[in-house]
A and B are shown apart, each in its own frame.
Chain A
Amino acid sequence: MSILRKQRKANREEDDPDMVPVMNLFLVLIPFLLMSASFYHLKAINTSVPVLSQQNEDMEEEAKKEIKLTVIVEIKEKQIDVSALSGEVEVELLKGLERTIDRKNSDEQTMKALSDCLEKIKSGFPASDTVIIIPEENVVYETIIQTMDVARYYNENPLFPKVVLSGKVG
């Protein structure tokens, strides 16, 4: 009886897996991962400010091939005004693209409405790729970034990837 018990005990001890190599592996992996761990992920949004430029002939020819609109998004305290500029489209057509989005609703709803509005313009003029964002002085930076996000992509599809940030002139 006692021999049997001893044998069973010996068998049980043999069943235990040897954890020491796994521990060694962990001890190597953890310092490596700690070194390459990043606790915040910094990304960037490309933008520019308006500058004086000289239009060259190549650009003029390129512009003739496809109609490109420049969309203007004015962020005001109580509303967002969307309009478009182009030398190749009739003024009446451009006026028809103008929209005003109320900011009384939550930020999420406002941005959704803005997103839909910009998507409509993009579907009408697919060659357009530039948006000028003009915030009022008291608009906080976070709202500007949210607007940029909405203007750049619509459901992962690019809308107006070239973002120009400008102060109100005049």
Chain B
Amino acid sequence: MALGRRNRRNQFVPPKLQLTSMMDMFTIILIFLLFSFSDKPETMTLEKNLELPVSDAKLDYNDNIKLVLSRDSLYLGDVRIAGIQDGKIEGLNPSKLEESVLYKELMAYHKEKKNDDPKADKEVSILFLCDKRLSFKTVNSIIKTAGMAGYPNFQFGVLKK
């Protein structure tokens, strides 16, 4: 009886881990990740309601002042400053752009930066992320306001083709 048990113990072979399928999986993941590798990973999150146009632009953006115009909201940085209904920006009268929240916020920022360093703010451009379905009428009111507030240079954010 005791001899039989010893024999059975001797016969025990530890199960060998089958790594082939795992290797296959890792290889696929590795290739996918290598393709999406970027030396400058995007740190910003894009809004659900924002579809950026596709372009063959190659220039990298400077993340100075971010203005986001989605289908239903206008954001300055990460702060929602106005809603949009039927392409019209709430609180923004095209004939009185100086009274809008956007103008006041940009002016305040412009003054603050100018006080800190008068030369630094001169060439600052706004990173403008805009939904591709919006009309020029909506876009124009925003860029006009920004231009009046002292920011005539823009970088239009687009997705790489």
A-to-B contact residues, CB < 8 Å: 19-20, 22-23, 26, 29-30, 33-51, 135-142, 144-146, 148-149, 152-153, 165, 167
Q: Is the CB–CB distance between A153 and B56 below 8 Å?
A: yes
Q: Is the CB–CB distance between B155 and A45 below 8 Å?
A: yes
Q: A37-B37, A145-B156 provided; 6 other pairs, C-beta below 8 A?
A: A30-B29, A43-B61, A47-B155, A138-B137, A142-B53, A152-B57
| Residue among B22, B27, B37, B135 making CB contact with A36, cutoff 8 Å | B37
- Known contacts: A141-B131, A153-B56. The answer to whether A44 contacts B37 by CB under 8 A is no
A126 to B144, CA, bound (A): 31
24 contacts between A and B (CB under 8 A): A19-B23, A23-B22, A33-B33, A37-B33, A38-B37, A38-B38, A38-B42, A40-B159, A42-B159, A43-B157, A43-B160, A45-B155, A45-B158, A46-B154, A50-B152, A141-B53, A141-B134, A142-B133, A146-B55, A148-B55, A148-B156, A149-B55, A165-B143, A167-B136
Q: Is the CB–CB distance between A47 and B37 below 8 Å?
A: no
Can you list, as one digit per residue, whether each of B104-141 has a CB less than 8 Å from chain A (1) or not (0)? 00000000000000000000010100111111110110
Count contacts between A and B, CB distance < 8 Å.
153
- Known contacts: A43-B160, A44-B61, A45-B155. The answer to whether A140 contacts B133 by CB under 8 A is yes
Q: Is the CB–CB distance between B59 and A43 below 8 Å?
A: yes
* Nearest chain B residue, comparing its CB with the CB of A134: B136
Measured between beta carbons, the chain B residues less than 8 angstroms from A48 are 152-154
Interface size on B, residues (CB 8 A): 55
Secondary structure at chain A's binding surface: helix, strand, loop or mixed? mixed
Measured between beta carbons, the chain B residues less than 8 angstroms from A50 are 152
State how many angstroms separate the Cβ of A24 from the closest Cβ of chain B.
11
Measured between beta carbons, the chain B residues less than 8 angstroms from A135 are 136
Q: Is the CB–CB distance between A136 and B136 below 8 Å?
A: yes
| Residue among B23, B30, B158 making CB contact with A145, cutoff 8 Å | B158
Measured between beta carbons, the chain A residues less than 8 angstroms from B3 are none
Measured between beta carbons, the chain B residues less than 8 angstroms from A138 are 135-137
A36 to B41, CA, bound (A): 6
B36 interface residue (CB < 8 Å to A): yes
Can you list, as one digit per residue, whether each of B4-38 has a CB less than 8 Å from chain A (1) or not (0)? 00000000000000011011001101100110111
Measured between beta carbons, the chain B residues less than 8 angstroms from A33 are 30, 33-34, 37
